[in-house]
Amino acid sequence: MKEDLDKLVQTLVQMHPRLINGWTNDEQSVIDTAYANIKQSKTLGEFYFIADTIVMLLHDGHTTLYPLPEVNILDLPLFWSREGLLVKDRRGAFQPGDRITAIGGRSVKDLEEDLQQLIPAENENWVRTQAASLLRSEWFLQHLRLVTEGTVLINATRAGHQISESIPLSSDSGQKEYNPYPAHSAAFTFEIKPEQSLGIFQINDCVYSQDYKSMVKRFFDEVYTQGISNIAVDLRNNGGGDSRVVEEFLAYTDVKSYRSFGGEVRFSTQVKQQFPDFPDDGTGRNEPAPVQNIRLTDHSFNGSVYVLTSPRTFSSANWFALIIQDNKLGQIIGEASGNQPSAYGNVIGFQLPASGIGFQVSFQKFTRPDPSRDPATAVIPDIEAYTTAKDIIDRRDAQMEKLYEVIVQKQTGGSSS
């Protein structure tokens, strides 16, 4: 365990932009406590959360330990909305839209305070969307002491009535679960809706590939051919990837130029191993600056642009939404994102030598295109549309419905908020 903590602390100190001047006294005290806690033997799960106390010091959603392997899960599909922690699908006594009030005898409000100290994040949106999955993992539930003899007691309310049932942990059945943000299985896809004069391009993973480039071209060719006047980019299920996807997309619009992100990169031997052209020490900095849009078509799109976001919108997907919002190229519809607008990113993955726990570390701090809008904890939608318990029950896509409403009101001369 000492070998692992040494590796973790050394890597963070050498790589993370926040640690150029090392740890504060309070942070060093947390690290000292972690070392003190490994003087007795620990299970893998216990050690995981000792190491996590160090990672949590950076408050960086990109710098994190990878989850432990799943053995058993709590077969209760969950979704964390503004209204609380909701059930997504029928399981035992529970129905879609039920609001969870307690897990393992502890109130959800009480648990959320613990979750804020366990999940690396920059805002509560990311904590909640990650918790909706982690609160189903046996190793995570065991740490919170929510498991009793292989079962988890769940308390919920439905229309003022109390529901209670103990659910046994079991292996993952592989059963498909409802997604309040409907998504195709592909990394990216599109559909054209002529009746709304709307093209929807869904990006679930920011993969900058030849396939992506080809699909973007096909999309805009269809938009032009069918005379579509509105396009929407659906980023609600997108946890990031390669930020160049937004450059490729904007190359088919009539935008002349736009401001991109600035930032500070920290160089190290670890970074140089991944990027041989980089130095192995020091820092580099650039301010947000205009980028010339290199158009890739003779029929550039000049209609309305919308971007759909959710708490799952993170990293390069967050970047995509910010390029649109900060440059006033379109409107964001949906829910606040899981990332701060100016945040750490660009990660390299590692593995702790003894436990085998994987982790990743940021080596860059990005500054949003319009720094005057900071500080901000998330990309806040221009037009809010939050999924509710009723939406879960009715299987209604709240963000897409709001998009349709906005387009209709635009076409009829109305307004939306």
Q: pLDDT tens, 66-114? A: 999 989 999 999 999 999 999 999 999 999 999 999 999 999 999 999 9
Share above pLDDT 90 across residues of the chain, in percent, rounded to a whole number: 96
Residue 316 and residue 364 in contact, taking contact as beta carbons nearer than 8 Å: no
Q: At what angle do helices 108-115 and 124-134 cross, to 10 degrees?
A: 110
User: What confidence score (pLDDT) does residue 382 get?
Assistant: 98
Per-residue confidence band for 313, with pLDDT thresholds at 50, 70 and 90: very high
Per-residue confidence band for 173, with pLDDT thresholds at 50, 70 and 90: confident
Measured distance CA(404)–CA(396) in Å, rounded? 13
Length of the chain: 417
- The full DSSP string for 272-327 is HHH-TTS-SSSEEEE---EEE-----SS-B-SEEEEEE-TT--THHHHHHHHHHHT
Token code pair at residue 382: 């221009």
- Alpha carbon separation from 43 to 25, 142, 262 (Å, rounded): 29, 12, 43
User: What confidence score (pLDDT) does residue 178 get?
Assistant: 97
Which strand (E) or helix (H) includes residue 85? Answer: strand 84-87
- Alpha carbon separation from 342 to 8, 152, 212, 263 (Å, rounded): 25, 39, 26, 9
Q: pLDDT tens, 262-276? A: 999 999 999 999 999
User: What confidence score (pLDDT) does residue 5 get?
Assistant: 98
Which strand (E) or helix (H) includes residue 162? Answer: strand 161-170
Average pLDDT over residues 211-238: 98
User: What confidence score (pLDDT) does residue 416 get?
Assistant: 55
Q: pLDDT tens, 3-28? A: 999 999 999 999 999 999 999 999 99
Predicted TM-score of the model (pTM): 0.96
The residues with which 200 forms a beta bridge, in sequence order, are 191, 232
Residue 399, class by beta-carbon neighbours within 10 Å (0-12 exposed, 13-18 middle, 19+ buried)? buried
Q: pLDDT tens, 104-143? A: 999 999 999 999 999 999 999 999 999 999 999 999 999 9
The DSSP secondary-structure symbol of 378 reads S
